Amino acid sequence: MTTRRRLAGLIAAAALPLARPAIAQSARIPDGPIRLVVPFPPGGPNDLVARVLGQKLGAILERNVVVENRSGAGGVIGTDNVVKAAPDGRSLCLTSAGAIAISPVLGAPMPFDVAKDVAPLTLVALMPELLAVPPSLPVSTVAELVDYAKKNPGKVNYGSSGIGSMPHLAGEAFRAAAGIDIIHVPYRGAAPAVTDLIAGQVQMMFADMPAMMSQVQGNTLRPIALASGERSPLLPQTPTMVEAGVPVTADNWYGLVTSSRVPAPVQALLQEAAARALQDPELVKSYGEQGARPVGGTQAEFRDFIVKESARWGEVGRRADIRMD
C-alpha cells in the first residue's frame, strides 16, 4: 500500500463515529493536571499543534492540560522525559518523526528504546515539507531547478534544520531522485537556515510549511513544490513534487505518545480522547491555517506507521551515508 493510501486510510478511520470500548470505560487517570510535553522550543509548528490539541484534550478529559516545552536533541530529550515519567497517564508527549522514527535508525545515541519504552497513542498531524528558493535564483519550477543544478554541479547548496532532520532527508531524497549534485548545509534549526535562504547563502531548502509561509506571502521566498501527497489549500497553485515529475514525498509528522509502562486501559482512554479532539472543527480549522492535516487513528495503526517511516527514512539515510553519532 502506498504511503498516500495508507495515510488516507488513517484519516478516514479518524473520521468514523467514536465508540468507547469497555477497556477505556474502566480506566482512571489520577487526579491532577496532565502534562503535554513539547520536545521543541516555544513558537514552532510542533508547539502550536500541541497547544490546540491540549485545549481540546482538556475539555474531553475534564482536566487541566499544561503544555511544557523541553527541547533538545531533535525532540529526543522531551520524549525521554515522558517515557521515564510516572506511568499514571498524566505525562504525554507530542513527539516528532525525528525523535522516534529517524534518529534511532541513523545512529543517534538514544536514551530509550522506541519499540520497548514508547507507547504510541495516535498520529496527530502531517506537516508537508515545502521546497522554496530565493527570488534571486532564476528558477520557478522543479524542472528548472533540476536543470539549473545539472548545469551547475556542486554549486547548489541546500539548507536544513540539522543533520538527520526531515528537511535534510527530503533534500537527499530529491538529490537521488533527480540525479543532481547538490550540497547539504545544516543549521541549528529552521530559522537561521531560512534567513540564509532569503539572503541567497543557500539556494534551496525543504522546510515545514509554517517555517516559510510568511516569507512566501511576503515574496521574499519563491515556493517551488510541496513534498506531500496532495496540494495545500494555502498554496493551491504550488504543485506536489510528484506532479512536477520527481517522485519525492516527505511529510513531517507529530504523534502523541506516552510511556509503555502506562496501563493499557489508560492508554486506550488517552487514545480515544485524542481521536475525538482531532475531529473537532475548531482544531481542524486551526491546523489547516498552519498547513497541517489532522489524522488520528488507532494505536496499532500509529505503531505500524512508525515502523514503516523508520524503514523508509533509514534507507534514504543509508544511501546518503547520513550518521547522527
Cα–Cα distance between 20 and 182 in angstroms, integer? 51
Residues 59 and 198 in one domain: no
What count of other Cβ atoms lies within 10 Å of the Cβ of residue 26? Answer: 11
Residues 113 and 147 in one domain: no
Please list the alpha-helical segments (H only) found in 189-228.
Answer: 190-199, 209-217
Residue 174: per-residue pLDDT: 97
Residue 232 lies in a domain: no
What count of other Cβ atoms lies within 10 Å of the Cβ of residue 76? Answer: 23
The conformation of residue 62, written as its DSSP 8-state character, comes to T
Residue 26: per-residue pLDDT: 62
Residue 26 lies in a domain: yes
320 Rama class: left (phi>0) / alpha (psi -120 to 50) / beta = alpha
Residues 161 and 61 in one domain: no
Q: What is the largest CA-CA distance in the chain?
A: 65
Residues 60 and 145 in one domain: no
60-79 confidence digits (pLDDT tens): 999 999 999 999 888 999 99
Cα–Cα distance between 210 and 167 in angstroms, integer? 13
DSSP-assigned beta bridge partners for residue 257: 93, 120
Closest CA to 279 of 13, 27, 85, 50: 13
Residue 10: per-residue pLDDT: 44
What 3-state class would DSSP assign to 238? Answer: coil
Residues 123 and 8 in one domain: yes
Residues 70 and 218 in one domain: no
Cα–Cα distance between 214 and 203 in angstroms, integer? 18
Residues 90 and 144 in one domain: no
- Which residue spans within 39-181 are E strands per DSSP? 65-69, 91-96, 118-133, 156-160
Cα–Cα distance between 16 and 296 in angstroms, integer? 10
Could you tell me the pTM of the whole model? 0.88
Residues 135 and 117 in one domain: no
List, for the chain, all residue ranges whose pLDDT scores fall below the cut of 70. 1-26
320 burial via Cβ count (<10 Å: 0-12, 13-18, 19+): middle
Q: Looking at this protein, which amino acid is placed at residue 274?
A: A
Q: What is the CATH number of the domain that holds 88?
A: 3.40.190.150
**Domain enclosing residue 22, as ranges:** 3-127+251-319
Question: What is the total count of domains within the chain?
Answer: 2
Residue 231 lies in a domain: no
3-49 confidence digits (pLDDT tens): 444 444 444 444 443 434 444 556 789 999 999 999 988 888 889 99
Closest CA to 226 of 181, 292, 284, 286: 292
Residues 116 and 7 in one domain: yes
- 237: phi then psi, degrees, rounded to nearest 5: -90, -5
Residues 122 and 153 in one domain: no
Are 221 and 215 a contacting pair, CB within 8 Å?
Answer: yes
Closest CA to 4 of 262, 249, 197, 221: 249
Element (H, E) at 50: helix 45-61
